Structure 1
Amino acid sequence: MAVGDGELDGLVRGRIRALRLAQGWSLAELAGRAKLSQSTLSRIETGQRRLALDQLVDLARALDTSLDQLVETAVEDVVVSPMVDSAHGRLRWPIRAEPGITVVRQRVTAPPPKRRDRLRAHPGREWLVVLSGTAVLVLGERRIRVETNQAAEFPTMLPHALGADGGPCELLGIFDRDARRGHRIDPADHRR
């Protein structure tokens, strides 16, 4: 999916705001950490001020991420259907796992949020496998239905949220180290 200049601009502004909110920081707190005025940060988030590279570097550092992650545009298809391993009678999901992942079984009952300010963004990658029901993954402006036995993989720098559609759903959430920090998951509390 190609991202135009206007879309990239909006994506970066949304990530800055979502990362700030995920940390629980006010405009004043992030502005202080990034050595910007509160009004400048507000205008950056709302699109009333042009994005400047030096400010993006300072904001990325203050938000504990890299400039590359802040401006990443690669958005691939996120839903992965299972592969049937007939010889062993199993379903397999081809995800690119890495060391240090945490797996959490979750029951989701609430629908996904309708307001963009409820979306979160943070460094890392997440995967999910829907065990039962239907999940709705919100990635920026996209709403993606993930059905039973389907999986999804996405970079968590995209503002995102998860909800259930038509009743509860059960899923496995899989988080790399950065995503785990973004959700404040303690791996000692969950089975791997």
Structure 2
Amino acid sequence: MSRRLPTIHNIVTDDAGPYRIDHLDLEFSNGERRRFQRLHGRGDGAVVVVPMLDDDTVLLVREYAAGMHRYELGLVKGRIDAGETPLQAADRELKEEVGYGARSLVALRELTLAPTYMSHVAHLVLARDLYPQRLPGDEPEPLEVLPWRLDALHELILREDFSEGRSIAALFIAREWLQTRGQQPGQPNDP
């Protein structure tokens, strides 16, 4: 069933540091009125990178997660800087966080975090045909890099220190793409 989008009667915006909060005055097609809040991040979104060391092994990073006050395993990720494309940001973040560049970068899809109240979009990028190259990053300490075999994904998702939803979703999406449509590095990247 296709529904008409609610009518926005008014938007009041508050600045909240690295975020902007919109207060929406909405009217739904059935006449009901409600106030919703929408959170916007600054910048052009983010990237989540699945760096494949070989056909079967992904590189994970362990870094401090302030929100949980612990060290977490996850994928390479970061903001898209002004003027960058998602693929350029993915390659830069890969070089900063794990010390590799990629000859093959494939944009798989966009991921949202909590679309009912956030506008944040992360671009999921598969990186293959890696080569050593390090760029200085903004991390306060060197990140631990951990290779993980995709055929042991069932073990990874049960670990206490691997809980970030984007990383979990990205690994399953990338594994499925590689199994059904993956091409060898150097071939066209059309999914």
Pick the TM interval, shorter chain: under 0.3
Compare the two structures and name the one with the higher strand fraction.
2
**Higher RCO (C-alpha under 8 Å, 6+ residues apart):** 1
Larger radius of gyration: 2
TM-score (norm 1): 0.24
Compare the two structures and name the one with the higher helix fraction.
1
TM-score (norm 2): 0.25
